[in-house]
């Protein structure tokens, strides 16, 4: 920038109230650019165009703290409008209409004497408390620099009207260059006023506090300009064209908000942060800065503007919203990994959009007028990336749960008993995993919550068979561990269906199947222990020995484990044990190693009856609800010991009615226990077959409730049975 001594420019604009300068004279060739050689004709010490531009630069530098910059856009616009006006001016003809000249001259004189009504009132007293007498004699540039914006505009408007009037009266017809220079001087002052408006806006949220007087002065100046230039002139004259200061103010507000928002997280490396901590810190700083600035706008800036009828709150709100959206889009571009994506989505959906974001209900961000913080396509991309990472994350979590369970098995840890049940952390780990991710996703959007539920259900469905296989192949298989796993699967089934209805129905079958697998393994271990004890039944030694107590002791021991299993599964397992004991007892009775005769047969019948009662009482005491099993052994015992042979048919009828799954082979095996003679056996067999056909015709070969007993008992075709059939 050249020094003041090397500049010869046009006259400095002064207040029209100065007696020595009623209007701006045409200077002609005396106006020179800042690069011209010094003119031999100067106007004393009055500063020129270069001084004006340096004053604006100093004001801008002081306001922004940066090196002064010209606004080439403003200057280009001013020059473009000026040249357009100069090209159009000669088009009026060489001689002006006399009546029109008289009217224009009269209007020009009036405009120089009486300012516009839009400039009355507040123009008589500066917002800084300086009276009009103290502002007299000051140049427009000084008024702008000292931020007497309304007074500066009034003087500029007065001078602008004078120039318009002189142009209309063809005063500059012989000196268009002089008019151009004076008009450019006015335009530059207007541009200087606009630049000062931007500087005030930039300073507003700075560390020096809010200058309420300057903001009120700014608002009044903008409104005065809008009243003075309501619409472009019909002749296209650039001097009276609207300056759009309100739009310039809004642009400055947006730029101020953008600069403020960009300060958050300066120096933080998003990619270098461990996990999501770096992004979380940036967003925390961003939220704190926006909250602090908008609170300042609402409590200090908005009241200052509101006094002049200026809607500052909404403008700042939209400006910060747009700046935050732009910053969030930049962060979204660099966000990678599950944690960072969630932090970003959560901040946008929950923190920024929260009614408590600004710290007070009356400062809440309106949800309707403001556009989405992230564009729909950006939001969709973030959710898609998040779900992709989520699938991998949840699968990894299930792998971790399985490894944790395997480590417990390897350490031979005995399951704890909590609230009377064997406890495994498996169900709690899975429920917490699902609930945590579903809750987190639901806080962002309902669509993401539904997607997360589907991902969790699919991952759990893949996990269950892996868990079953790993457990059954381990060395930890025992009643407590099996009971704990049964409880875990039952807890998952009931809790998942209750907490997330409609989402985990497809998992009910796999969970029930897993429970059945563990129950079956539990029964297999018991059956393996009980099987040898049944081999001594219905033998000669059995008649003289009490072999049932050891068998029932094992049942009682097993039942103590069932006390720590979920009631429904414990009852199912207990009934299955009850059915197994009765079934194996009958299987041994229907294929005896020896056949009893005479007193041994009667003693055997009585012993079977007593043992049937002992078995029934034991299981009844344990809580078995399988009462339908109580008739099987007594009926066979009655047939074996019945002395009145005609009553055997009645016992057969009771047996077939109670257990429709009995087959002809079973009837033959039962009849073979007695030596009733061929005719009686055939008659009884025919009657039994008729009953079986009637039962089958009535409803199938199974008893009510689908109970199965005889169907699973295999009987051999021995010589005695064949003889019975003859």
DSSP string, 221-239: HHHHHHHH-SS--TT--ST
Query: Which of 130-134, 494-498, 702-706, 721-725 shows the lowest mean pLDDT across its residues?
Result: 721-725
**What is the C-alpha to C-alpha distance for residues 68 and 48, in angstroms, rounded to an integer?**
18
CB atoms within 10 A of CB 381: 15
Per-residue model confidence (pLDDT) at position 40: 35
Beta bridge partners of 14: 139
Per-residue model confidence (pLDDT) at position 362: 64
Name the DSSP letter for residue 274: S
Among all chains, which residue has been given the structure tokens 């409590």?
Answer: 299
CB atoms within 10 A of CB 145: 20
In the Cβ-directed half-sphere of 124, how many Cα atoms lie within 13 Å?
A: 5
Beta bridge partners of 471: none
Per-residue model confidence (pLDDT) at position 149: 87
Per-residue model confidence (pLDDT) at position 464: 95
Beta bridge partners of 417: 422
**What is the C-alpha to C-alpha distance for residues 318 and 299, in angstroms, rounded to an integer?**
17
Q: Helices 567-590 and 508-534: crossing angle, nearest 10°?
A: 40
Beta bridge partners of 422: 417
| 3-class secondary-structure state, position 417 | strand
The closest alpha carbon to 602, from 653, 674, 550, belongs to 674
Do 305 and 360 meet the contact criterion of CB atoms below 8 Å apart?
no
Beta bridge partners of 416: 423
The closest alpha carbon to 246, from 201, 183, 288, 179, belongs to 201
Specify the higher pLDDT residue, 11 or 214.
Answer: 214
Name the band, by pLDDT with cuts 50, 70 and 90, for residue 468: very high
Among all chains, which residue has been given the structure tokens 């007498």?
Answer: 133
Per-residue model confidence (pLDDT) at position 545: 86
**What is the C-alpha to C-alpha distance for residues 415 and 431, in angstroms, rounded to an integer?**
19
Per-residue model confidence (pLDDT) at position 108: 36
Burial degree of 701 (CB within 10 A; 0-12, 13-18, 19+): middle
In the Cβ-directed half-sphere of 90, how many Cα atoms lie within 13 Å?
A: 6
Per-residue model confidence (pLDDT) at position 118: 36
Specify the higher pLDDT residue, 40 or 712.
Answer: 712
Reading the block at residue 302, the tokens are 């908005």
Name the band, by pLDDT with cuts 50, 70 and 90, for residue 597: confident
| 3-class secondary-structure state, position 422 | strand
Reading the block at residue 379, the tokens are 């939001």
The closest alpha carbon to 596, from 637, 631, 647, belongs to 637
**What is the C-alpha to C-alpha distance for residues 503 and 510, in angstroms, rounded to an integer?**
14
- Interior/surface letters 256-286, b for 16+ CB within 10 angstroms, e for the rest: bbbebbeebbeeeebeebeebebbbbbbeeb
The closest alpha carbon to 526, from 483, 589, 494, belongs to 483
Q: With helix as H, strand as E and coil as C, how does 344-391 read? A: HHHHHHHHCCCCCCCCCHHHCCCCCCCCCCCCHHHHHHHHHHHHHHHH
Query: Which of 9-23, 524-538, 599-613, 676-690 shows the lowest mean pLDDT across its residues?
Result: 9-23
pLDDT digit string, tens, across residues 488-526 = 999 999 999 999 988 888 899 999 999 999 999 999 989
Q: With helix as H, strand as E and coil as C, how does 710-724 read? A: HHHCCCCCCHHHHHH
Q: With helix as H, strand as E and coil as C, how does 113-143 read? A: HCCCHHHCHHHHCCCCCCCHHHHCCCEHHHH
CA-based torsion, 608, 612, 613, 615: positive or negative: positive
| 3-class secondary-structure state, position 480 | helix
Q: Average pLDDT for residues 175-182, to the nearest whole number? A: 84
Burial degree of 40 (CB within 10 A; 0-12, 13-18, 19+): exposed
- Interior/surface letters 461-483, b for 16+ CB within 10 angstroms, e for the rest: eebbeebbeebeeeebbebbbbb
| 3-class secondary-structure state, position 14 | strand
Mean pLDDT computed over every residue of the chain: 79
Per-residue model confidence (pLDDT) at position 41: 36
The closest alpha carbon to 324, from 374, 362, 364, 383, belongs to 374
The closest alpha carbon to 576, from 702, 708, 700, belongs to 708
Taking the complete model, does pTM exceed 0.75, yes or no? no
Among all chains, which residue has been given the structure tokens 């806080």?
Answer: 443
Backbone angles phi, psi at 558, to 5 degrees: -65, -40
Residue 570 has pLDDT above 70, yes or no: yes
Do 367 and 431 meet the contact criterion of CB atoms below 8 Å apart?
no
Per-residue model confidence (pLDDT) at position 24: 37
Per-residue model confidence (pLDDT) at position 176: 81
pLDDT digit string, tens, across residues 347-393 = 998 888 887 787 766 665 665 578 888 888 888 899 999 999 999 99
Per-residue model confidence (pLDDT) at position 387: 92
Distance of CA 224 to the CA centre of its chain: 48
pLDDT digit string, tens, across residues 387-442 = 999 999 999 999 999 999 999 999 888 899 999 999 999 999 999 999 999 999 99
Backbone angles phi, psi at 531, to 5 degrees: -55, -45
Per-residue model confidence (pLDDT) at position 93: 38
**Which H or E element spans position 567?**
helix 567-590
Per-residue model confidence (pLDDT) at position 702: 52
pLDDT digit string, tens, across residues 35-66 = 333 333 333 333 444 444 444 444 444 444 44
pLDDT digit string, tens, across residues 571-591 = 999 999 999 999 999 999 888
Residue 681 has pLDDT above 50, yes or no: yes
Q: Average pLDDT for residues 263-288, to the nearest whole number? A: 74
Could you write out the DSSP letters of every residue in 624-644? ---GGGGGHHHHHHHHHH-SS
**What is the C-alpha to C-alpha distance for residues 163 and 156, in angstroms, rounded to an integer?**
10
Q: Helices 98-113 and 149-168: crossing angle, nearest 10°?
A: 160
CA distances from 293 to 196, 209, 369, 564 (A): 21, 11, 20, 61
| 3-class secondary-structure state, position 339 | helix
**What is the C-alpha to C-alpha distance for residues 714 and 502, in angstroms, rounded to an integer?**
45
Per-residue model confidence (pLDDT) at position 105: 34
Among all chains, which residue has been given the structure tokens 């048919």?
Answer: 649
Among all chains, which residue has been given the structure tokens 């057969």?
Answer: 652
Q: For strand 421-423 and strand 416-418, is the pairing parallel, antiparallel, or unpaired? A: antiparallel
In terms of residues, how long is the chain?
A: 726
Name the band, by pLDDT with cuts 50, 70 and 90, for residue 213: confident
Backbone angles phi, psi at 662, to 5 degrees: -70, 145
Beta bridge partners of 421: 418
Query: Which of 350-359, 545-554, 614-623 shows the lowest mean pLDDT across its residues?
Result: 350-359
**What is the C-alpha to C-alpha distance for residues 491 and 428, in angstroms, rounded to an integer?**
9
Reading the block at residue 615, the tokens are 């078995």
CB atoms within 10 A of CB 389: 17
Reading the block at residue 11, the tokens are 């006259």
**What is the C-alpha to C-alpha distance for residues 263 and 282, in angstroms, rounded to an integer?**
10
**Contact partners, residue 308, CB within 8 Å, separation at least 6:** 216, 219, 220, 223
Name the band, by pLDDT with cuts 50, 70 and 90, for residue 334: confident
């Amino acid at each position: 920038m050249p020094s003041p001594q090397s500049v010869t420019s046009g006259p400095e604009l002064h207040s029209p109230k100065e007696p020595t300068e009623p209007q701006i004279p045409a200077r002609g060739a005396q106006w020179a650019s800042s690069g011209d050689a010094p003119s031999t004709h100067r106007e004393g010490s009055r500063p020129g165009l270069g001084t004006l531009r340096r004053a604006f630069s100093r004001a801008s530098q002081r306001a922004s703290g940066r090196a002064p910059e010209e606004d080439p856009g403003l200057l280009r616009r001013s020059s473009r409008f000026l040249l357009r006006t100069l090209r159009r001016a000669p088009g009026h003809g060489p001689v002006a209409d006399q009546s029109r000249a008289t009217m224009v001259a009269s209007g020009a004189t009036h405009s120089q004497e009486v300012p516009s009504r839009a400039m009355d009132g507040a123009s008589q007293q500066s917002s800084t408390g300086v009276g009009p007498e103290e502002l007299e004699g000051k140049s427009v540039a000084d008024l702008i620099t000292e931020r007497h914006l309304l007074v500066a505009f009034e003087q500029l408007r007065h001078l602008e009207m004078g120039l318009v009037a002189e142009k209309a009266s063809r005063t500059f017809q012989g000196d268009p260059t002089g008019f151009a220079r004076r008009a450019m001087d006015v335009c530059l002052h207007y541009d200087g006023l606009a630049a000062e408006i931007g500087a005030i806006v930039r300073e507003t949220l700075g560390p020096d506090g809010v200058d309420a007087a300057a903001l009120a002065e700014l608002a009044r100046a903008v409104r005065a300009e809008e009243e003075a230039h309501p619409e472009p002139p019909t002749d296209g004259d650039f001097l009276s064209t609207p300056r759009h200061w309100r739009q310039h103010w809004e642009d400055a507000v947006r730029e101020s908000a953008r600069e403020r928002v960009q300060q958050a997280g300066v120096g933080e490396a998003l990619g270098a942060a461990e996990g999501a901590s770096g992004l979380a810190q940036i967003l925390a700083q961003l939220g704190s800065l926006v909250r602090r600035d908008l609170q300042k706008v609402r409590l200090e800036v908005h009241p200052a503007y509101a006094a002049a009828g200026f809607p500052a709150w909404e403008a700042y709100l939209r400006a910060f919203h747009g700046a935050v959206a732009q910053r969030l889009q930049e962060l979204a571009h660099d966000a990678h990994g599950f944690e960072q994506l969630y932090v970003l989505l959560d901040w946008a959906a929950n923190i920024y959009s929260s009614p408590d974001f600004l710290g007070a209900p009356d400062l809440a961000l309106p949800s309707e007028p403001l556009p989405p913080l992230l564009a729909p396509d950006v939001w969709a991309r973030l959710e898609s990336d998040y779900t992709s990472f989520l699938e991998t994350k949840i699968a990894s979590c299930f792998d971790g749960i399985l490894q944790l369970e395997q480590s417990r098995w390897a350490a031979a840890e005995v399951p704890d008993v909590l609230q009377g049940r064997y406890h495994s952390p498996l169900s709690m780990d899975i429920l917490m995993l699902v609930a945590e991710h579903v809750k987190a996703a639901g806080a962002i959007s309902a669509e993401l919550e539904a997607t997360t539920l589907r991902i969790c259900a699919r991952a759990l469905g893949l996990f269950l068979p892996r868990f079953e296989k790993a457990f059954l192949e381990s060395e930890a298989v025992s009643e407590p561990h099996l009971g704990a796993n049964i409880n875990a699967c039952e807890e998952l089934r009931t809790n998942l269906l209750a907490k997330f209805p409609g989402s985990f129905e497809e998992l009910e079958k796999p969970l029930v199947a897993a429970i059945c697998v563990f129950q079956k393994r539990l029964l297999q271990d018991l059956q393996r222990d009980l099987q040898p004890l049944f081999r001594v039944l219905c033998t000669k030694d059995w008649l003289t020995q009490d072999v049932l107590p050891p068998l029932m002791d094992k049942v009682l021991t097993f039942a103590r484990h069932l006390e720590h299993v979920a009631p429904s599964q414990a009852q199912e397992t207990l009934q299955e044990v009850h059915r197994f004991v009765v079934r194996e007892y009958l299987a041994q009775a229907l294929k005896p190693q020896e056949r009893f005769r005479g007193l041994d047969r009667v003693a055997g019948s009585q012993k079977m009856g007593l043992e049937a009662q002992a078995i029934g009482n034991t299981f009844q005491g344990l809580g078995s609800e399988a009462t339908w099993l109580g008739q099987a052994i007594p009926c066979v015992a009655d047939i074996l010991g019945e002395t009145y042979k005609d009553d055997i048919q009645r016992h057969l009828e009771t047996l077939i009615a109670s257990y429709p799954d009995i087959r002809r082979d079973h009837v033959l095996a039962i009849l073979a226990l007695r030596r009733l003679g061929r005719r009686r056996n055939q008659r009884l067999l025919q009657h039994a077959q008729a009953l079986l056909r009637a039962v089958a015709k009535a409803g199938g070969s199974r008893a009510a409730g689908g109970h199965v007993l005889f169907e699973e008992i295999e009987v051999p075709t021995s010589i005695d049975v064949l003889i019975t059939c003859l």
